[in-house]
Structure 1
Amino acid sequence: MQVFLVGGAVRDGLLGKAIHDKDFVVVGASPDELLACGFTQVGVDFPVFLHPDTHHEYALARTERKTGKSHTEFAVQFDKTITLKDDLQRRDLTINALAIEVTSLFDDTPITGQVIDYYGGVLDLQQKTLRHVSQAFSEDPLRILRVARFFARFEGFSIDSSTQNLMIQMAKNGDLSHLSKERLWAESSKAMQCKTGFLYWQVLADLTILEHFLPDLARLWQDLGLKTQTLLALSLIFQDDFFLSLSDDKRLMMQFSLLTSGFNQKSFINTTAKTLCAPKNCLNFSELFFDFKDILQKNCSAGDLINLIERTKAHQEIKDKKSAEKSVAYMLIASIYLYYQACQITPFYTISQIKNIVYQSIICYQNTKIQEIDGQLTGAKIGQALKKIRMAKIQKLLWLIHHDT
């Protein structure tokens, strides 16, 4: 039995990057042997096992043969005759087909530290090239998106022309249509978590792959000005301290709104979200962005502010200035300002001014009590009366703010 550290851990180690996950390949072993050592099998018919202590994945060396159109339809062969070279050949990119032999199942100390490289991955790392290992690449359409994601993740890398051609041909063949929408979002959202995640969308557009799964966005980006503005906004977002302070799900909400910011109809945003299987909060936030993206080009009215407060539920979400900084209302403002910056639009207010105006307006809204209206009112007239009082308070607030400045 031989045990090898493989894939991303070896690649990232050679790049001097932090190693977060370790995956291992075991050659010359059977499922029964790993089970007897306390390993837990991940799937009944799949030779991947979890280590009893570290919970790292240990896979028996295997080969795969495509049996259908889906990226999950493969016949897997694993037995003691499968070599490490056989196993590494099925991997997507040469930089991911690297291995280092370790001591044993329970000791991952490298024996010599020598990198085993059958397919030129070390040279490709040195030359910053993303290159497919073999023609088996074309058997899994998910790899098109994975390469685009690696392109975004590893800044300065290029995709080898032969791999580009293979990706383009696979897309033309309709292979991406065999991927589940969940996988489309999983790969796309992972890419967007990179600080240069905009490169994911850029390379898919430049290689004419985008048109095969997001045709509305591809058509929109035929306007190179719109494409440039969108990609610039997505690149600027990782320079924004407010954005960086947010959780991953809120970051994705802002990013998706900027990705779809060029659409002139909500139906296109909806279709894009549906195709990508984007979470509902991303769609809802993008629709808010669509409705409010022009609001900060002019002097806001009390009606504008009440609409923003109610649509973002800021009066329910915001309790103090600290909670305001994580609110949907402030996320919307930040997204609009990034959009303006990319489009070279001059806003009417600075971002600190509009945040102060919105926050003070929320206080006015929240401090308006039902005791302030005629107690004889019923039904819809109660809401109308409250809105009238809130409108008057916010109008007065705006007058005071503008006269102070």
Structure 2
Amino acid sequence: MEVYLGRLPILDSKQNLVAFELLFRSNQNNGVDVTDNSAASANVIIDTYGQLGIENVIGKRRGFIKVDAKLLMNDVICMLPKKHVVLEILRNVEINDEIIQRCLFLKQKGYQLALSNVVQLDQRFERIMPLINIVKINITALNQSNLHNLINKLKRWPVLLLAEKVESKEIARNCIALNFQMLQGFYFAKPEIISGKRIDPSKLSLLKLLLLVVKDGEVTEIENELKFQPGLSYNLLRMVNSAASGLPSTINSIKRAIMIIGRKQLQRWIQILLYAAKQRDGGASDALMQTATVRGRLLESIAIADRPHDKNHQDRAFMVGVLSLLDTLLGMEMSELVSTLSIQKDMGEALLTRRGYLGHQLELIEAHEKGEYETVSCMLSDMGFINMDEFIKMELEATVWANRIKDAVNQSV
């Protein structure tokens, strides 16, 4: 059975990435809950993540997995690592004695339990609430008055509140004001343009560096710009020395380090560091970095499958993926960034209008991120050179790679 996989980021109230909702859909349902086929789906989940390890796919964060009554009662669920998963009980599960006993057993085993898509509390929920860790509230289904009433009712239990379907900054702020501890939705990936907003100095320096590298600036110019950022210089030398262990002597010169690492690798390092640079005003840079890094690697993998001998096309694909969220990070219009970077026309069109080869493939990745599986399936069929299984494997490998990169760059900033 083919399975569609996806991950929806879950952020805390300070907009740090803390978890993912792991989405599983079967081909025959094509976007409907896979839990109609729960026993088979559980095996697929375990088989799929067994290849790489679920901890490699989601890093040190937790993964929320939707479960219906069948899957909840199936012993195969106990093969999932309790430190890495939250079992999210679907709204249509009948809360009876058998389910209560099963949840008590899983709770005693160390699993965290969540209620999915809650819009009201009735007596059947009150029976299970003492066993619940997290309540996911569908905020789009409630007006402000009903939302307040629901939150007040939930204060009887020591549960964390997670707002689902947060699609704008305004909604996110309202949820944080209402003391939601977690937020889920793609509001963080949408740019908030503030007139006259100044770019964080650390990001401005990285953007200048990126400009110099993209435009083939002189090594001396790149070296001089790096000297204004001692921390970056130190980490560049450390990175090169750790990667070049076969060299007879330690690299102490920034210029030599640039020559050894090469412009393409330096460019990638700078692009990713842009997302990792500390923000004075907080923000969702952690989630943006994760998403952008996965996009870059996945778009590069698609480009390799499409044009295996065209290294230049593959490098440009990586750059488009990583740059696709830079407008959100910097609070600038994408058109301004494209103009500033003076990148090639097809890259600009991909970033601005999702046109052309790279634009179409970026659109595919965005559809996959949002769990739009029918769209993904149709787009892959139109492309013709990779199937769903290959795409999912690429996405999982990109995620593992992004987690490794994140750990590395977090030591650099």
Mark yes or no: TM-score above 0.5. no
Answer with 1 or 2: which has the greater Rg. Answer: 1
TM-score, normalising length: structure 2: 0.29
TM-score, normalising length: structure 1: 0.29
Higher relative contact order (CA 8 A, sep 6+): 2
